[in-house]
């Protein structure tokens, strides 16, 4: 097959035409855009470090126990003649409930004897007082008679000088005066002894009154009454049982006020103390109750949380050497009568709870909690990523208080930066622009 000259010409033109088209396309393409460091700036969300009012707190754990434990000991001996039908372990009873009665017959007899002795002592005191009045009157009368006899003696002595009376008559009158003086002396001695007699009579009355009061107390103690709303923890007495003095009968726990000894790490307590401003009164011991620290006890059952409000009332007297913890005593008021079965559990002894002790809100430097990466924060400085290690104090309601490492106004990065390389170029979110 032969190729003519016309076909040969197109074979030469087509390659040249293709080369021209390629050169035209290449000259029209834009060169690639260059970025700083050869990496595109990452779009991130940011927030400023700022001062906000946050309540500082410290967290610990402890087991609930009754604020008051009542152990009833028998103060009298005898046979139990009454036992409350609900006096059983675990039952809750109201204040004033009569729990037990011991046979009172012996103590009623002792009370009657004590009353009789008191009446006798009071009668003796009345006789002594009346006798004193009688002796005082007798002394006045005898002294008046002595005065009359002395005057008569003096008159007769005058008559003896004139010879009107005999010496024997004067001697007889002198004897009468001496006899009367002896009688006055006897009555005066009796009157002088009256204060001692009154003291003895009054002492007998007081002794009889004391014995009467003791007999009344003994009789009252034959009835055992619950002093406050309580749950019965232990019962060790039965009907018709003879009990002796100082024998344990009932143990009960107060229900309306519980306490929690909360174990808090010593380091946490030291940091927490930096945020407190205790009120110290000159000349008095420091009292933690003046610090006005509230507390919240929380119980977790599955995914549910139950809380009770309380108050910090005291601090333990020593450090626990095993856990290096300090004990905070928190009181929690609880109305056991408001217990709702199936909805809210009661606060009972030995319940293990988490406790937050909180101070008054105060201005503190904080960042959103989501900005933290362990103990590090990502910061935006001059359009680049900076990583800084910080000292965290505590977290509260989505914000974390920073003790050291940042300053107010610093810009923290909230978005995840992968890879997190210091110096990486960053740019902040524009209005309406999604974060990739």
Residues 89 and 176 in one domain: no
Residues 206 and 344 in one domain: no
Give tens-digit pLDDT for 114-151.
999 999 988 888 887 887 777 777 778 777 887 877 78
Residue from 65, 70, 95 nearest 332 by CA: 65
Task: Please state, in angstroms and rounded to a whole number, the distance separating the CA atoms of residues 44 and 384.
Answer: 11
Residues 117 and 214 in one domain: yes
What is the number of helices (H) and of strands (E) in the chain?
Answer: 5, 26
Instruction: Tally the C-alpha atoms within 13 A of residue 217's C-alpha that lie toward its C-beta.
Output: 8
State the helix-helix crossing angle for 194-220 and 167-192, rounded to 10 degrees.
20
Measured between alpha carbons, how far is residue 5 from residues 12, 18, 176 in Å?
Answer: 11, 21, 202
Query: How many distinct structural domains can be found in the chain?
Result: 4
Please check whether residue 54 is in contact with residue 364, taking contact to mean a CB–CB distance below 8 angstroms: yes
Element (H, E) at 23: helix 5-28
| Residue 29 within a domain | no
User: Backbone phi, then psi, for 70, in 5-degree steps?
Assistant: -115, 120
User: Backbone phi, then psi, for 204, in 5-degree steps?
Assistant: -65, -35
Residues ≥6 apart with Cβ < 8 Å to 106 = 78
If you search the block for the tokens 């003796």, which residue do you land on?
Answer: 124
pLDDT score recorded for residue 42: 84
User: Backbone phi, then psi, for 90, in 5-degree steps?
Assistant: 95, -15
Measured between alpha carbons, how far is residue 104 from residues 19, 83, 99 in Å?
Answer: 130, 14, 15
Please check whether residue 279 is in contact with residue 303, taking contact to mean a CB–CB distance below 8 angstroms: no
The CATH number covering residue 128 comes to 1.10.287
State which residues of the chain have pLDDT below 50. Answer: 1-2, 33-38, 430-436
Residues 183 and 127 in one domain: yes
The CATH number covering residue 387 comes to 2.40.420.20
The CATH number covering residue 78 comes to 2.40.50.100
| Residue 402 within a domain | yes
Q: Edge-to-edge, what's the strand order for the sheet holding 98-102?
A: 223-225, 98-102, 78-83, 242-243
Task: Please state, in angstroms and rounded to a whole number, the distance separating the CA atoms of residues 123 and 201.
Answer: 9
pLDDT score recorded for residue 29: 54
Residues 272 and 340 in one domain: yes
Residue from 329, 404, 313 nearest 366 by CA: 404
Give tens-digit pLDDT for 335-391.
776 677 767 788 888 899 999 998 888 888 888 888 888 888 888 888 888 898 888
Please check whether residue 298 is in contact with residue 306, taking contact to mean a CB–CB distance below 8 angstroms: yes
The CATH number covering residue 324 comes to 2.40.30
Residues 277 and 344 in one domain: yes
- Do strands 411-413 and 372-373 pair parallel, antiparallel, or not at all (unpaired)? unpaired
The three-state secondary structure class of 25 is helix
For residue 9, how far is the Cα from the chain centroid?
A: 112
| Residue 21 within a domain | no
Give me the torsion for CA of 119, 121, 125, 128, rounded to 10°.
Answer: 120
Residue from 97, 108, 84, 114 nearest 222 by CA: 108
Residues 97 and 239 in one domain: yes
| Residue 59 within a domain | no
Residues 111 and 179 in one domain: yes
**Residue count of the chain:** 436
Residues 114 and 216 in one domain: yes
| Residue 194 within a domain | yes
- Distance from first CA to last CA of the chain, Å, rounded? 66
Task: Please state, in angstroms and rounded to a whole number, the distance separating the CA atoms of residues 58 and 359.
Answer: 9
Range of the domain at 91: 70-103+228-254
Residue 257, classified by CB atoms within 10 Å of its CB into exposed (0-12), middle (13-18) or buried (19+), is middle
pLDDT score recorded for residue 134: 79
Residue from 81, 187, 194 nearest 140 by CA: 187
């Amino acid at each position: 097959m032969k190729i003519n000259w016309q076909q040969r010409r197109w074979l030469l033109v087509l390659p040249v035409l293709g080369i021209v088209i390629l050169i035209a396309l290449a000259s029209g393409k834009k060169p690639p855009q260059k970025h700083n460091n050869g990496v595109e700036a990452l779009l991130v969300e940011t927030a400023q470090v700022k001062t906000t009012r946050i309540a500082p707190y410290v967290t610990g754990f402890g087991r609930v126990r009754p604020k008051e434990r009542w152990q009833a000991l028998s103060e009298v001996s005898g046979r139990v003649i009454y036992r409350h039908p609900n006096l059983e372990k675990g039952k809750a009873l109201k204040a004033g409930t009569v729990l037990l009665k011991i046979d009172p017959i012996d103590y009623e007899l002792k009370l009657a004897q004590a009353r009789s002795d008191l009446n006798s002592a009071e009668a003796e005191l009345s006789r002594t007082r009346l006798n004193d009045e009688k002796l005082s009157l007798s002394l006045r009368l005898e002294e008046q008679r002595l005065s009359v006899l002395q005057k008569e003696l003096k008159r007769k002595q005058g008559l003896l000088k004139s010879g009107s009376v005999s010496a024997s008559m004067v001697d007889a009158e002198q004897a009468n005066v001496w006899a009367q003086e002896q009688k006055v002396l006897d009555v005066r001695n009796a009157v002088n002894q009256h204060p001692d007699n009154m003291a003895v009579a009054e002492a007998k009355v007081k002794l009889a009154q004391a014995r009467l009061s003791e007999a009344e107390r003994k009789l009252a103690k034959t009835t055992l009454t619950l002093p406050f709303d309580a749950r019965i923890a232990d019962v060790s007495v039965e009907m018709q049982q003879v009990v002796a003095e100082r024998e344990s009968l009932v143990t009960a726990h107060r229900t309306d006020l519980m306490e929690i000894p909360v174990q808090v790490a010593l380091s946490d307590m030291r940091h927490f103390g930096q945020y407190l401003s205790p009120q110290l009164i000159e000349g008095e011991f420091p009292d933690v109750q003046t610090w006005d620290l509230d507390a919240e006890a929380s119980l977790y059952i599955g995914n549910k949380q139950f809380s009770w409000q309380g108050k910090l009332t005291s601090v333990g007297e020593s450090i626990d050497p095993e856990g290096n913890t300090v004990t905070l005593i928190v009181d929690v008021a609880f109305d056991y009568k408001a217990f709702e079965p199936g909805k809210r559990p009661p606060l009972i002894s030995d319940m293990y709870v988490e406790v937050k002790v909180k101070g008054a809100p105060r201005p503190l430097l904080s960042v959103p909690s989501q900005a933290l990466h362990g103990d590090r924060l990502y910061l935006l400085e001059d359009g680049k990523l900076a990583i800084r290690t910080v000292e965290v104090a505590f977290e509260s309601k989505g914000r974390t208080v920073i003790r050291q490492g940042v300053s107010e106004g610093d810009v923290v990065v909230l978005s995840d930066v992968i890879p997190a390389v210091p110096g990486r170029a960053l740019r902040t979110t524009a209005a309406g622009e999604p974060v990739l």
